[in-house]
Structure 1
Amino acid sequence: MGADRNTSRLRCLVRGAFPGANPLRRRTDLFEPIALVLVVLIAVASAVLAFAVAQGELDRRLVEVEREQLSKHQVVASVVAELPSSTTTHRPVAVRWGQPPDERFAVLDLPARIQASGTLPVWLDERGQPTVPPLTRGAATQAAGLAGAGVLLGSGLGTTLALLAARAWVQHRRLVAWEEEWAEVEPQWRNHAS
């Protein structure tokens, strides 16, 4: 009994979405099922495209992560002095690392919240100059996820706007058709009412 009820509900939904040979069906009534099929196809294509974009971005970023991991290395530098600063968010700090005669000095711009005393980890590039930390796998994964989400959101927004515009046009066409039909039928009704 429950299976029959579910089957009849499914048939009702299909009949509502696809009007078929209903004698009261208008040409504009075919818009909804066609639009439904197009939206499903666009959603599937968008998901595949988003996955491809995200995978491509992840592959590109992971190559960059590997390159940066190989080209940068970390040293522990001792803070020599805190230099005067004109901003409250960042401050320059003089640091040194290595042993004489290879001792190196640099001025780093630290955020104000980081304590500038003792030792600090410093990332160096291939030439031994201070640089930003290398990219991580987590940052690469996050960038790939954002790229894929951007494709999905853009596609969803574009599809939704196109569907709303098309529905507004179809509704306008229905109203125009009803006005034309009423212009034909109204004189006949006026004669019956008299």
Structure 2
Amino acid sequence: MGAGPVSGGVLARMRRAVWPGANPLRRRTDWFEPIALLVILVAAVVVLISSFVVSQAVLRDHLARVNAEHIDRHPVSAKVLAEVPGESAVVRSVRVGWATPPDPPRSAVIEVPTGTPLADTVPIWVDPQDRPVPPPRTRSEATQAAGTAGAGVLLGSGLVLGGMFGAARWYVGKRRLAAWEADWARVGPRWRHHLP
């Protein structure tokens, strides 16, 4: 005697596990999980598209800034004039001077990491007005900012959707248990008459 044919395949079993179908014991709350699953799947697609759009917008914006900074800023070699006393353990301040002919010589106080050995000259970046500025950002920094923005949208949306789904499941489960208790309160006394 062999086993009878298996009714349906893996997909059919999965569909029955998710979709309540025509089960006579089905309650209205049993429709919540498949509908919520469908809503979560649609929301996940929307979140994926949104995170891609956000990351691309951030990347365009940062790349435009990177290009503008590379156009506006240029490196110069500045001569170290003196060390400026300071309290920080992370950076130290030094006065440097440079000249970009035909402009007159300039000087400014810049900060360098404490462990950096000071040579006679240090490279600095200046803007079109010949003022010291931070080095221009790189394309990799722009890409990293875009990736962080996209990941932030994904993570934040995932936490919100997961929290909403969990709270809704808790509420529906509570309602389901209350309905079962009410049904048992109605049916239980009738069953007690049939017990030996």
What TM-score results when the alignment is normalised by the length of structure 1? Answer: 0.91
Q: What is aligned with 1:135?
A: 137
**Distance in 1 (alpha carbons) for counterparts of 2:155 and 2:90:** 35
2:10 is the counterpart of 1:9:
yes
Asked if the contact 1:58/1:140 (under 8 Å) is kept, the reply is yes
Q: What is aligned with 2:84?
A: 83
Asked if the contact 1:53/1:147 (under 8 Å) is kept, the reply is yes
Q: Where in structure 2 are the equivalents of 1:143-158 lying within 5 Å?
A: 143-158=145-160
**Deviation per CA, 1:138-172, whole angstroms, max 9, x where unpaired?**
11111111111111111100000000000001101
Going from structure 1 to structure 2, the CA distance change for 1:64 and 1:99 (only over 3 Å counts) comes to: closer
1:57 positional shift? 0.9
Identity %: 46
Structure 1 gaps, min length 5: none
**Distance in 1 (alpha carbons) for counterparts of 2:107 and 2:123:** 14
Q: What is aligned with 2:61?
A: 60
**Deviation per CA, 1:104-134, whole angstroms, max 9, x where unpaired?**
2221111212222232110001100101111
Q: Which amino acid aligns with 2:83?
A: E
Q: What is aligned with 1:107?
A: 109
Q: Please, which moves more after superposition, 38-47 or 133-142?
A: 133-142
Q: Please, which moves more after superposition, 182-191 or 83-92?
A: 83-92
**Distance in 2 (alpha carbons) for counterparts of 1:87 and 1:55:** 39
Asked if the contact 1:93/1:116 (under 8 Å) is kept, the reply is no
Q: Which amino acid aligns with 2:151?
A: A
User: How many pairs align?
Assistant: 190
